């Protein structure tokens, strides 16, 4: 029992080390996982196992190529925000999140009087027409449960790094 | 040979559409998730696409250099481990925009930061060790910039994760 527990604790520590070692990505070489394994003092096999576990647990959302959507021609990236009845937000938010062109969909707090929107949906398209149709689709889906909305076009990327937590 | 890691961020501000070869499209469309967890993942991909591991590696490396990819590797749902995160906005006077951008970007806790065409014209994600640290950080940023701010931590996540087609 005691042994098992100490192994679990060390596994948690290993997970954190793996996250730190891959924060900026995987190296590009024949054995990338071997390189990471050496950095976190484990074996390639154990690293592959633990990353598989992290994936099943949802800690790793996915492993792969992360495109810059602008470079792929998705020039119209719109943050749409909606004022949805609180009693309907869970049902409708779930439905908006299921639309194929929505990449991120969240409920966030209102900050009256400055900010009355509680539903955020990011939509992406290659033309203005395309995103206009997407916005219209969301509008119709929300129907009368929705008051005002706003569209916030991204004008410029000012910074884009992975999420980091400062460890002093 | 393994020196690409850590230099991946350098050209990620590319905002123009980039012309891609069929092979590049194939890689981008096929491997935004499900990058193999095998000892020789590039070889695994090469076998599937009938090419060589060298070509797969060189292509991915070039796509990072050209800014077509912002990253290559695992994407974490970091909230599952620890930390607090929030989407924040500032209302920045146009004439101070560059100066405030520099101030805000100087925080390592600021991840994505976007200029948007709205009176709340600067939107960024903050990451901190705890809710309290995040609140302190947010207050610090509004104070140091002198701009009104919104701190909008998510209450419900409905969906994350579109894949883009090249």
For residue B34, is it within any domain? yes
d(CA A10, CA B73): 23
Q: Give the residue-averaged pLDDT of B4-20.
A: 62
Residue A153 C-beta-side C-alpha neighbours within 13 Å:
10
Q: Which residues of B touch A153 (CB under 8 A)?
A: 116-117
Domain assignment of residue B12, yes or no:
yes
Check the CA dihedral B12-B15-B17-B18 and report its sign: negative
Q: Is B165 within the bounds of a domain?
A: no
> What is the C-alpha separation between B156 and A86, in angstroms, rounded?
12
Tell whether B19 and B82 lie within a shared domain. Answer: no
ipTM for the complex? 0.77
Whether residues B88 and B48 share a domain: the answer is: no
Contact B164 A67 (CB under 8 A): yes
- DSSP helix/strand/coil, A68: coil
Regarding whether B121 and B69 lie in a shared domain, the answer is no
B37 and B14 in one domain? Answer: yes
Confidence (pTM):
0.76
- Tens-place pLDDT, residues A57-86: 999 999 999 998 889 988 888 999 999 999
Question: Domain boundary residue among B46, B75, B104?
Answer: B75
How far is residue A138's CA from residue A92's CA, in Å, rounded to a whole number?
10
Mean pLDDT (chain A) is 90
**Does B83 lie in the same domain as B57?**
no
Domain ranges of chain A: 2-56, 76-153
Under 8 Å between Cβ of A13 and B21: no
Find which of B159, B161, B165 to mutate to test the A interface (most A CBs within 10 Å of its CB).
Answer: B159
Full domain range(s) for residue B12: 1-75
State whether B11 and B48 are in the same domain. yes
Average pLDDT of the residues in A95-111: 95
- The 10s digit of each residue's pLDDT in A109-133 is 999 999 999 999 999 999 999 999 9
Contacts A66 to B, Cβ<8 Å: 32, 69-72, 75
**A76-153: CATH class:** alpha beta
- B104 & B60 share domain: no
The CA–CA distances, whole Å, from A144 to A98, A122, A138, A150, B5 equal: 19, 21, 12, 16, 50
């Amino acid at each position: 029992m005691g042994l098992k527990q100490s192994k679990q604790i060390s596994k948690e520590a290993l997970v954190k080390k793996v996250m730190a070692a891959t924060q900026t990505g995987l190296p590009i070489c024949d054995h990338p996982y071997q390189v990471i394994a050496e950095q976190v003092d484990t074996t390639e096999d154990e690293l592959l196992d633990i990353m598989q576990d992290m994936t099943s647990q949802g800690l790793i959302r996915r492993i792969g190529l992360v495109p810059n959507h602008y470079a792929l021609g998705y020039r119209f990236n719109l943050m749409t925000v909606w004022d949805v009845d609180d009693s309907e937000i869970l049902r409708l938010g779930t439905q908006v999140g299921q639309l194929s062109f929505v990449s991120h969909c969240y409920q966030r707090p209102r900050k009256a009087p400055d900010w009355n929107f509680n539903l955020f949906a990011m939509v992406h398209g290659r033309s203005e027409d395309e995103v206009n149709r997407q916005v219209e689709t969301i509008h119709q889906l929300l129907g009368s449960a929705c008051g005002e909305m706003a569209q916030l076009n991204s004008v410029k990327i000012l910074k884009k790094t992975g999420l980091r937590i400062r460890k002093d | 040979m393994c020196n690409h890691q850590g230099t991946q961020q350098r050209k990620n501000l590319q905002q123009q559409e980039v012309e891609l070869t069929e092979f590049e499209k194939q890689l981008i469309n096929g491997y935004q998730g499900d990058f193999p967890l095998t000892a020789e993942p590039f070889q695994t991909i090469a076998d599937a696409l009938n090419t060589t591991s060298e070509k797969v590696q060189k292509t991915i490396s070039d796509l990072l250099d050209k800014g077509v990819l912002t990253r290559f590797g695992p994407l974490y749902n970091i909230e599952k481990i620890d930390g607090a995160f929030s989407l924040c906005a500032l209302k920045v006077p146009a004439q101070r925009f560059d100066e405030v951008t520099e101030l805000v970007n100087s925080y390592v806790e600021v991840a994505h930061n976007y200029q948007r065409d709205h009176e709340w014209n600067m939107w960024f994600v903050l990451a901190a060790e705890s809710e309290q640290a995040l609140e302190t950080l947010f207050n610090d940023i509004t104070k140091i910039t002198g701009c009104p701010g919104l701190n909008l931590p998510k209450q419900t996540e409905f969906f994350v994760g579109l894949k883009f087609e090249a």
